[in-house]
């Protein structure tokens, strides 16, 4: 058991933990969640012994082996397989001892027995399986690590941590550098991990699949909940509502007692009762209010209407330095499209979105875009390219030099930057705030097409939910590349598979695609690009991912299903938003506003039931005609 007892810790004078305690059962898989900046990574450092708490204690069984992903990326001529095998220090030590000159038969026998005990001879096979699961084919496993980009080197570090099978495995956002294929494999691997796992993640679907407990950092404390993320979220909502109701009841009691005291404290016949109530009132400790996290704001400016298509690709090829990465591209983007790109990293997803955005020219074929189209393109490197010594407001002044101050501040306000945060230097903003600033900058002119390439890596759970809600309200077209399954499922109504040197629309939904890649229906893995960030190299060819089935009017039927899904998702999102409002203390303290929201919630329920019925009917027709993925 990992026993955290009353720890306190400060960073730069700011208190992160104050008397925080939690007991984590041995062998369990625990998700560590909390808003950005609450101390999740700091807690990992405290558990790993890299830093010491200012007060309190962290206890675990003696000789507990703690495993983490090394922050320093591997480099040099060693191969991924060699690096992973070398991570097992005990095996490496025993192998070196076995190869050393020794004339003591007893010593040699003992070394070989120890190698047998740790199953050392099976280690290369086990290491290769882990690397393959994370996207390294056999050829890639034997290439020098220096030939890989930073993201792929991080995968090697993750593989090394998994290979050593420590008693306590600490993983900090392990899916951030993975594509959907590798994240699906990792999810399955961790579900059967035989020891204790503590993982920081803002991917709710990932936590729902692997976690049997959640530790929530809030109010400088650690709060343990049993179950996965959805169960934690329900339990916390109930806790907030219960505490708010109890506090309201306590306040009514206090007011009643105080009124009695004020009325009778100076009356001789009631003095004793009044004094008794004074003492009782002093002993009545006010309940702490469990405040909901402040809402994160995303509000995309709405574009003007445009006639379809926005962009057409006609048998186009695109790549770098005259060498095609993707060919035979015949695709179309319309104003109401919501498209997610799937396929392994290194297959060309970023190349495709850059081509659609107009950042790359066609090698062959055509890219035709509407003359009035405005495109907002979000890429991870843009967050890193923000000027750290400038404020968010100064970034907008450079972008729109003739813009009025009120207009610029209004644009920032749409993304949660009030007066204070708008004037704060970017170097002092959190990763999530930098991502929000980047989104504000690329959407300032109300683009007709929004392209998001891994937009959630810097966002916590609440910010991801806010982004999903904002995209649901956005009237333009959206193309998203993301390993966050929840975001893809809520935002996209069609998938494009980028594989085998091309990109094509994919029949079926994300779940059927995940079942395909996890169940052997076409392996979509490849050890991706070399360190040149401009180049994405396809290193392995794979069989076609889908087989088109005979069908009757498939376009119309699937459109009906997508429309029903979108209506259901929008109404569900609205209901969840109202449910959150109903538990907020500020709302609960305003009876008129509370009643108005409750009426809205009640009126929404029949619409939700109708949308669900239409969706079920559409899905049934699709299934009866055999148009679903088998």
DSSP at 49: T
Over residues 606-610, mean pLDDT: 76
Looking at residue 286, what is its pLDDT? Answer: 59
pTM: 0.70
Over residues 317-336, mean pLDDT: 95
SS3 content of the chain, % helix, strand, coil (to 5): 45, 20, 35
pLDDT tens-digit readout, 52-93: 999 999 999 988 999 999 877 888 899 999 999 999 888 878
Residue 381 in domain = no
Residue 369 in domain = yes
Residue 64 in domain = no
Q: Are residues 260 and 318 in the same domain?
A: no
Looking at residue 462, what is its pLDDT? Answer: 85
Looking at residue 103, what is its pLDDT? Answer: 59
Q: Which of 422, 444, 466 is the last residue of a domain?
A: 444
Phi-psi domain of 337 (left: phi exceeds 0; alpha: psi -120 through 50; beta: other): beta
Residue 313 has pLDDT above 70, yes or no: yes
Q: Are residues 439 and 419 in the same domain?
A: yes
Q: Are residues 368 and 473 in the same domain?
A: yes
What is each CA distance from 453 to 192, 382, 470, in whole angstroms? 31, 11, 16
Looking at residue 9, what is its pLDDT? Answer: 96
Looking at residue 316, what is its pLDDT? Answer: 97
- Identity of the highest mean pLDDT range in 469-473, 500-504, 518-522, 543-547: 500-504
Please tell me the least confidently modeled range out of 256-265, 357-366, 441-450: 256-265
- Residue whose entry in the numeric block shows the structure tokens 């995309």: 300
Looking at residue 552, what is its pLDDT? Answer: 42
Looking at residue 335, what is its pLDDT? Answer: 94
Residue 542 in domain = yes
Residue 66 in domain = no
Q: Are residues 311 and 410 in the same domain?
A: no
Please tell me the least confidently modeled range out of 94-103, 146-155, 213-222: 94-103
Q: Are residues 463 and 520 in the same domain?
A: yes
Over residues 453-468, mean pLDDT: 89
CA separation for the pair 66, 57 (Å, rounded)? 17
Looking at residue 288, what is its pLDDT? Answer: 52
Summary mean pLDDT of the chain: 83
Looking at residue 461, what is its pLDDT? Answer: 86
pLDDT tens-digit readout, 461-510: 888 988 998 999 999 999 999 989 889 999 999 999 999 999 999 988 88
Looking at residue 271, what is its pLDDT? Answer: 61
Q: Which residue in 306, 592, 328, 626 sits closest to 449, CA to CA?
A: 306
DSSP at 514: H
Q: Which of 402, 424, 444 is the last residue of a domain?
A: 444
Residue 29 in domain = no
Looking at residue 629, what is its pLDDT? Answer: 47
Q: Are residues 348 and 459 in the same domain?
A: yes
Residue 85 in domain = yes
Q: Are residues 302 and 367 in the same domain?
A: yes
- Residue whose entry in the numeric block shows the structure tokens 């109708």: 610
Contacts of 134 (CB under 8 A, 6+ apart): 155, 158, 159, 178, 182, 185, 186
| Distance linking the first and last C-alpha atoms of the chain | 44
Over residues 360-376, mean pLDDT: 95
Q: Which of 165, 180, 215 is the last residue of a domain?
A: 165
> Residue 542's domain is classified under what CATH number?
3.40.50.300
Residue 438 has pLDDT above 90, yes or no: yes
| DSSP per residue, 539-600 | ------S--PPP-SSHHHHHHHHHHHHHHHHHHHHHHHHHHHHHT-HHHHT-HHHHHHHHHH
Contacts of 560 (CB under 8 A, 6+ apart): 618, 621
Contact (Cβ atoms closer than 8 angstroms) between residue 204 and residue 461? yes
Bridge partners of residue 479, in order along the sequence: 339, 451
Contacts of 210 (CB under 8 A, 6+ apart): 29, 31, 187, 190, 191, 197, 199
pLDDT tens-digit readout, 124-136: 888 999 999 999 9
CA separation for the pair 597, 600 (Å, rounded)? 5
Number of domains comprising the chain:
5
Q: Are residues 352 and 462 in the same domain?
A: yes
Residue 376 has pLDDT above 50, yes or no: yes
Looking at residue 526, what is its pLDDT? Answer: 42
pLDDT tens-digit readout, 164-217: 999 999 999 999 888 888 998 999 999 999 999 999 999 999 999 999 999 999
Q: Which residue in 153, 175, 171, 150 sits closest to 162, CA to CA?
A: 171
Please tell me the least confidently modeled range out of 67-71, 192-196, 251-255, 408-412: 251-255
Q: Are residues 453 and 537 in the same domain?
A: yes
Please tell me the least confidently modeled range out of 44-58, 414-428, 576-590: 576-590
Looking at residue 306, what is its pLDDT? Answer: 93
Q: Are residues 544 and 610 in the same domain?
A: no
Kindly compute the dihedral angle of the four CA atoms of residues 141, 146, 150, 155, in this order, to the nearest 10 degrees: 20
Looking at residue 281, what is its pLDDT? Answer: 60
Residue 292 has pLDDT above 70, yes or no: no
Q: Are residues 464 and 532 in the same domain?
A: yes
Residue 522 has pLDDT above 50, yes or no: no
Contacts of 202 (CB under 8 A, 6+ apart): 33, 173, 456, 459, 460, 461, 464
Residue 17 in domain = no
Q: Which residue in 149, 170, 173, 178 sits closest to 45, CA to CA?
A: 170
Q: Are residues 496 and 364 in the same domain?
A: yes
Q: Which two tokens stand for residue 109?
A: 């026998």
Q: Residue 394: give the domain boundaries.
A: 388-444
């Amino acid at each position: 058991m990992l026993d955290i007892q009353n720890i306190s810790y400060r960073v730069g004078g700011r208190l992160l933990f104050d008397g925080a305690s939690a007991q984590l059962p041995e062998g369990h898989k625990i998700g560590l969640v909390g808003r950005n900046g609450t101390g999740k990574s700091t807690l990992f450092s405290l558990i790993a012994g890299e830093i010491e708490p200012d007060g309190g204690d962290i206890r675990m069984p003696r000789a507990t082996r703690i495993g983490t992903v090394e922050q320093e990326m591997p480099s040099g001529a060693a191969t991924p397989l060699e690096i992973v095998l070398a991570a097992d220090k005990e095996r490496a030590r025993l192998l070196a001892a076995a190869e050393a000159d020794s004339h003591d038969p007893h010593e040699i026998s003992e070394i070989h027995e120890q190698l047998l005990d740790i199953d050392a001879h099976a280690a290369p096979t086990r290491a290769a399986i882990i690397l393959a699961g994370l996207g390294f084919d056999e050829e890639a496993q034997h290439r020098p690590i220096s030939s890989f980009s930073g993201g792929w080197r991080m995968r090697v570090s993750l593989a090394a941590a998994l290979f050593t099978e420590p008693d306590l495995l600490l993983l900090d956002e392990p899916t951030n550098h993975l594509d959907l294929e590798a994240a699906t494999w990792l999810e399955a691997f961790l579900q059967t991990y035989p020891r204790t796992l503590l993982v920081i993640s803002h991917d709710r679907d990932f936590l729902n699949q692997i976690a049997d407990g959640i530790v929530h950092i809030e109010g400088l404390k650690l709060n343990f909940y049993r179950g996965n993320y959805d169960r934690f979220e329900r339990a916390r909502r109930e806790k907030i509502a219960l505490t708010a109701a109890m506090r309201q009841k306590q306040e009514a009691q206090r007011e009643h007692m105080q009124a009695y005291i004020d009325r009778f404290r100076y009356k001789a016949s009631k003095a004793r009762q009044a004094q008794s109530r004074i003492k009782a009132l002093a002993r009545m400790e006010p309940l702490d209010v469990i405040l909901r996290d402040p809402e994160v704001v995303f509000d995309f400016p709405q574009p003007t209407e445009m006639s379809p298509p926005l962009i057409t690709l006609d048998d186009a090829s695109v790549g770098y330095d005259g060498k095609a990465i993707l060919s035979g591209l015949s695709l179309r983007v319309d104003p109401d499209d919501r498209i997610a790109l799937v396929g392994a990293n290194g297959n060309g997803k970023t190349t495709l979105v850059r081509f659609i955005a107009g950042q790359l020219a066609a090698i062959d074929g055509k890219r035709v875009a509407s003359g009035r189209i405005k495109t907002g393109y979000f890429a991870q490197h843009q967050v890193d390219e923000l000027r750290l010594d400038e404020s968010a407001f100064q970034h907008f002044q450079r972008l729109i030099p003739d813009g009025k101050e009120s207009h610029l501040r209004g644009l920032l306000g749409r993304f949660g930057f009030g007066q204070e945060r708008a004037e704060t230097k970017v170097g002092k903003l959190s990763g999530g705030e930098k991502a929000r600033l980047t989104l504000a900058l690329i959407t300032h002119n109300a683009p007709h097409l929004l392209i998001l390439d891994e937009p959630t890596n810097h966002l916590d759970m609440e910010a991801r939910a806010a982004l999903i809600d904002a995209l649901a309200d956005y009237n333009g077209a959206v193309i998203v590349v993301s390993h966050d399954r929840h975001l893809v499922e809520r935002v996209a109504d069609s998938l494009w598979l980028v594989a085998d040197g091309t990109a094509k629309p994919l029949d079926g939904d994300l779940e059927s695609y995940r079942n395909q890649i996890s169940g052997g229906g076409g392996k979509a893995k490849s050890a991706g690009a070399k360190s040149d960030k401009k180049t994405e190299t396809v290193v392995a060819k794979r069989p076609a991912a889908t087989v088109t089935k005979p069908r009757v009017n498939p376009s119309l039927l699937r459109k009906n299903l997508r429309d029903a899904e979108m209506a259901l998702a929008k109404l569900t999102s609205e209901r969840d938003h109202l449910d959150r409002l109903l538990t907020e203390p500020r709302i609960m303290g305003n009876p008129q506003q509370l009643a108005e929201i409750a009426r809205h919630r009640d009126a929404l329920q029949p619409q939700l039931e109708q949308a669900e019925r239409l969706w079920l009917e559409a899905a049934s027709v699709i299934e009866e005609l055999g148009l679903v993925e088998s």
